[in-house]
Amino acid sequence: SAVISQKPSRDICQRGTSLTIQCQVDSQVTMMFWYRQQPGQSLTLIATANQGSEATYESGFVIDKFPISRPNLTFSTLTVSNMSPEDSSIYLCSAGGTGELFFGEGSRLTVL
């Protein structure tokens, strides 16, 4: 199994600012993903974080708004840029590649 740590666990942000969320996995993993869970909603995949190359974004998500880095096999960051109240969500990092997808506890962002 993989243990995933995310920082920050929660934050309150001002409109127009940006916030970077860090995700650390305790073992090397093939796949890393970023999901968004809006209040009372299910999980929506934002992008696949690719090691050493640009992330692969799902429809409706763009790099300018959600830049992602993955410098190695155990670490990734997601930045939520120029935030608005509509970005208030839980952002979840996940890791897979062995037949199971593991999740961090999420980063709960509130944008005022």
Partner 1 sequence: AQSVTQPDIHITVSEGASLELRCNYSYGATPYLFWYVQSPGQGLQLLLKYFSGDTLVQGIKGFEAEFKRSQSSFNLRKPSVHWSDAAEYFCAVGASAGNEKLTFGTGTRLTIIP
Of positions 8, 71, 85, 97, contacts partner 1 by CB under 8 A? 97
Cβ neighbours for 85, distance < 8 A, ≥ 6 positions apart: 15, 111, 112
Tokens of 62: 């763009």
Segment 34 to 73, residues that bind partner 1, using CB under 8 A: 41-45, 48
Which has the closest alpha carbon to 105: 88, 97, 87, 93? 93
Task: Say whether residue 105 binds partner 1 (CB under 8 A).
Answer: yes
Under rule CB under 8 A, residue 30 binds partner 1: yes
Binding interface with partner 1 (CB under 8 A): 4, 30-31, 33, 41-45, 48, 92, 94, 96-106
